[in-house]
Amino acid sequence: MTKKRRNLKQLFLFNGLLLLIAFILIQYSVINNTEEQEATESRPSNAGEENTSLQETENIYKAVLQGSFEERLVQFDQPAIPYNISFKNIVGRQMTLDDLKGQWVVLNFWASWCPPCITEMPSLQALQDQYGGQGVQVIGIGLDRQMDGPRLRQVMQKFNFGPVAGYYGDWTEIKKHFDIDALPTTYILSPNGQAVAKLSGHADWVDTGAKLYIESLID
């Protein structure tokens, strides 16, 4: 009888141990899943959007680069004055498109996470350097979320960008008023503020075709 009780006691302890191990494993699984969910939820809300935007940009970028500058530039049959968007320069000064009237404006929208934008920016600066004194102003507005002056300075230093990249704006607000189907996207604005042309994707702005187009505007 004593031996039987001892066996039952051992069996009870063994089963209890198994239940304890199972409980610990279940708790670990629950905690692990919760932590993964919290980590996902704690990521910046724009992370997925930027990854999606980057993929869309790369896809469109590959498509739109099939052709010369002249073939890719869309000139509007009916130019129109766009919404007077506001943006800031690198020192935080508030600006609007109205501030740019009186000259031809090459209005470029870019982002620091966009490889084609990074590739394009030096040629935009070269365009400004060559034609800036002839009634042409190149403006590169960065559309990174949560961008500000100090962060923009870091980006410009990292990629060795010139002054044309020294502007930033609110992506959500600007997207309401400009048709930006890819980054980079560049609009050409006339001296009276009308949008006369658009180019999606990156371009070499000191290429012969681009320079001939800018010179035709000046003339």
Mean pLDDT of the 25-44 span: 40
Q: What is the pLDDT of residue 42?
A: 31
Backbone angles phi and psi of 108, in degrees to 5: -105, 130
Mean pLDDT rounded to a whole number for the chain: 81
Q: How far is CA 118 from the centre of its chain?
A: 11
Q: What is the mean pLDDT of residues 160-169?
A: 98
pLDDT band for position 37 (cuts 50, 70, 90):
very low
List the chain domain ranges.
Answer: 1-42, 49-218
pLDDT value at 75 more than 50: yes
Q: Mean per-residue pLDDT for 162-180?
A: 96
Give the global pTM: 0.72
- The CA distance from 84 to 193, in Å, is 9
pLDDT of residue 11: 45
Helix ranges (H only) for the chain are: 2-42, 47-64, 69-72, 115-131, 149-159, 171-177, 208-218
Q: Give the separation between CA 123 and CA 206, rounded to whole angstroms.
A: 6
Fold of 49-218: Glutaredoxin (3.40.30)
Q: Is the pLDDT of residue 57 over 60?
A: no
Could you read off the pLDDT of 105-160 as tens digits, one per residue? 999 999 999 999 999 999 999 999 999 999 999 999 999 998 999 999 999 999 99
pLDDT of residue 32: 44
The pLDDT score that the predictor gives to residue 219 is 84
198, pLDDT greater than 50:
yes
Give the model's pLDDT for residue 55: 57
**Looking at per-residue confidence, does 11 or 152 come out higher?**
152
Q: Which residues pair with 87 in a beta bridge?
A: 95
